[in-house]
Structure 1
Amino acid sequence: MAESYLETQQQGLPEMINRILKLISSSLKSFLQSTDSFRPLVVSS
């Protein structure tokens, strides 16, 4: 029982890591896009 439980936990771990990485990458992309939209204002001033 314990071994199978650990196996399922190890199988679910990469999925959680992938989800977290996707969230981080998407938030980074949106952050970079927002900074890109602000960049012309900084350059012009």
Structure 2
Amino acid sequence: MDEQNEIEWLKAMIAEGEASGVLDAEPGDILAEIMAKLPASDCP
């Protein structure tokens, strides 16, 4: 999966979570949490 597809997939998963009521945090906060869990070599 290329970077653009990964971005679109993440956006879709966040939108789905918000719509279902599963996610109550802001998308930026969710992304920050995900990025904090990635190894530094995986982050641009």
Normalising by structure 2, we get a TM-score of: 0.45
**More RCO (CA 8 Å, sep 6+):** 2
Name whichever structure is richer in helix by fraction.
Answer: 1
Which entry has the higher C-alpha Rg, 1 or 2?
1
